[in-house]
């Protein structure tokens, strides 16, 4: 961690020279997803922007004092042809894209590849 703002000036200058000033304003720590009716089941999680393969989307669940808590990213549906994966990272589950995803597309996970999730039943939509 830099001690003062003057220490950041050379770093920012180099970043602007190599990536352009627009790069500084395009930083995204997570994707602000939205919920809507799903063709799969009930309500799903959707992206308002195009996403790239392997892009971090957000935290779906947090483990705290013996319980899992779901975030707005955690209401995803199961699909046998998913576009996301959920991976544990210490006490949180993070969602990442496993292919390019178009804006407005529902974010889905293959529950069968996530043993810590509820497993699909025979009557689930594939």
pLDDT tens track for 62-97: 989 988 888 888 889 999 999 999 988 888 999 999
Strand 106-109 relative to strand 43-46, pairing: antiparallel
CA dist 78 and 119 (Å) reads 9
DSSP state of 116: T
CA dist 100 and 33 (Å) reads 16
pLDDT tens track for 51-65: 999 999 999 989 899
CA dist 25 and 53 (Å) reads 21
pLDDT tens track for 7-50: 767 777 777 788 776 655 555 566 788 999 999 989 999 999 99
Map out the domains of the chain with their CATH numbers: 29-113 (2.170.270.10)
């Amino acid at each position: 961690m830099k001690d003062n703002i003057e220490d950041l000036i050379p770093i920012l200058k180099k970043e602007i020279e190599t990536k352009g000033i627009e790069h500084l304003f395009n930083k995204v720590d997570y994707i602000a997803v939205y919920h809507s009716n799903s063709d799969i089941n009930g309500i799903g999680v959707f992206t308002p922007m195009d996403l790239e393969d392997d892009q971090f989307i957000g935290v779906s669940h947090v483990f705290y004092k013996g319980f899992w808590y779901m975030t707005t990213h955690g209401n995803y549906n199961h699909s046998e042809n998913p576009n996301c994966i959920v991976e544990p990272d210490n006490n949180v589950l993070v969602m990442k894209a496993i292919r390019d995803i178009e804006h407005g597309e529902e974010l889905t996970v293959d529950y069968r590849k996530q043993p810590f999730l509820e497993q699909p039943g025979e009557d689930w939509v594939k």
